[in-house]
Amino acid sequence: MRTIAVLNQKGGVGKTTTTVNTAAALAAMGLKVIVIDLDPQAHLTIHLGVEPQTMPAGAYDVMTQSAEFEQSLMLTRPNLWLLGANINLVGAETELVSVVGREIILREAMHRCHEQFDFCLIDCAPSLGLLSLNALAASQEVLIPLQPHFLALQGFGKLLQTIDLVNKRINRDLKVTGVLLCMFDTRASLPNEVRADIDRFLTNARGSNSAWADAQILPTFIRRNIKLAEAPSYGQTIFEYDPTCNGAADYRNVARFFLGIEPRLDGQDETESEVESEPETAAAPDPVVEHEPQEIHHDPEPTGGADPVMENETVSEAPSPDAHHEPELLSNPDPAPQRDTVPAPWDLQHRPESEFGAGSAIERGPVPEQAPSESHHELESADEHNAEARQETPEHPPIQIQEFQLPAPQTYSPRPFQDEPASPASPPEPAPAHHDEAPNEPHQSHDEPEQIGF
């Protein structure tokens, strides 16, 4: 199983949209996919049509070790399982502060799933806290969605450094796979400037031992597309809501990227303002087989069906785990024209044992048939959870995140948001109601806007 953390400590950059729709595209290609909602706002959960408060078990229960991972998964679509979130998750970081090994709880919880699934995408909260650390510790790859607007690169260095530290201290397998440019407007010059800067930086890192040495800007990008913003309020993926829109085409390309298939870039110079499309009315999606999402609130219209295009894009053979798949597509999948607060609290120092024990597991496991294996701590940090041990092993100092200085600060002009008031140091995540979010607005303002830390 390839586990990919979709991470950017900024909110509103496209993490959730990317997680849902990339996973849905992979699932429609026949791959077995898990999505994990590690954001207490539960946008991913809602986006898949699941009511967060009605879930019997979810990410909170797994993180607090009161439910088994496999038994907390919900099959929400064919091939697409969800470990959902609800607002309880907001308390997890605090509750776990005294838990030994708290940074690898998720990793250990998932370890029995590796043979049974092909992909796991983790939608991270817009922070670099303990939940995101768990995502990084459990993943082999990081995908960084980034909205290439002014200030897009502010904090980018810190994000990369954080990933690098996790790679060096906790998870040797972790690397940054790439940067996905979301809400990209090809007509504007600024996004292209941002792209060129990232490209230059990543190119300079080639051959280094950093976790991003092999990272690239994904060859496909996600155009701004109103359908992508509308789909969540119907609890639908983009392939259910409007399989012919630009957003659907773009996320199919992201899935192809992960499968090692050439993207189809036709039409990426189109803008959604040139071609708008109405969502297609189609049959309701196939009901979930084993575990119905509870009380899915789908508005009556527009209705979406299982994506006929995606259904054709089925991988001919069941993929083998941990492999980079290069499946043959059975038919042309795109016949339709294109329309359209740092530092983190992971000092890894000794804390007293947690009161969390193996609580009552919730009995609704959809998948696993493997016999449970003993929990084990394989990471160096996992078996060195106390300060004494760390003092004895000077090569493992506590993680301390410091501002990472990337070379050559650059000035962008014009300054489109210079009239915005300065915000507190810690940028707020947009309002919880996903349909109220304003995707066009930057989610950070600043005192010295001309300095990009990159």
Would you tell me which residues interact with ligand ADP (CB under 6 A)? 11-17, 43, 126, 182-183, 222, 224-225, 228-229, 232, 247, 434, 437, 439
- Closer CB to ligand ADP, 68 or 250, in the complex: 250
Q: Which residues on neighbouring strands pair with residue 452, listed in sequence order?
A: 410
Query: For residues 171 and 225, which CB has a smaller minimum distance to ligand ADP in the complex?
Result: 225
Tell me the closest approach of the beta carbon of residue 224 to ligand ADP, in angstroms.
4
Burial class (CB within 10 angstroms; exposed 0-12, middle 13-18, buried 19+) of 188: middle
**# binding residues, Mg ion (CB under 5 A):** 3
Among the listed ranges 38-46, 143-151, 171-179, 405-413, the one in contact with Mg ion (CB under 5 A) is 38-46
Please report how close the Cβ of residue 241 comes to ligand ADP at its closest, in angstroms.
Answer: 11
Nearer to ligand ADP, 14 or 129 (CB): 14
**One residue of 2, 10, 15, 446 binding Mg ion per CB under 5 A:** 15
Nearest distance from C-beta of residue 14 to ligand ADP, angstroms: 4
Q: Which is nearer to Mg ion, 39 or 118 (CB)?
A: 39
How far apart (Å, rounded) are the C-alpha atoms in residues 166 and 156? 16
CA angle, 348 as apex, 342 and 349 as ends, to 5°? 115
Reduce the secondary structure of 160-210 to three states and give it as a string: HHHHHHHHHHCCCCCEEEEEEECCECCCCHHHHHHHHHHHHHHHHCCCCCC
For Mg ion, the binding residues in 237-256 under the rule CB under 5 A are: none
User: Interhelix angle for 15-28 vs 246-259, to 10°?
Assistant: 70
Region binding Mg ion by CB under 5 A among candidate stretches 16-24, 219-227, 255-263, 324-332: 16-24
Q: Does residue 415 contact residue 150 with C-beta atoms inside 8 Å? A: yes
DSSP letter assigned to residue 427: P
Residue 56 or 432 with smaller CB distance to ligand ADP: 432
Nearest-angstrom CA–CA distance, 66 and 360: 6
Nearer to ligand ADP, 79 or 225 (CB): 225
Among the listed residues 3, 9, 16, 225, the single contact to Mg ion using CB under 5 A:
16
- Cβ atoms of 119 and 31 within 8 Å: the answer is yes
Q: Is 325 in the site for Mg ion (CB under 5 A)?
A: no
43 binds Mg ion (CB under 5 A): yes
**Tokens describing residue 406:** 């990337």
Which entry of Mg ion, ligand ADP, none binds 183, CB below 5 to 8 A by partner kind?
Answer: ligand ADP
Closest to 247 in 3D by CA, of 331, 301, 182, 178: 182
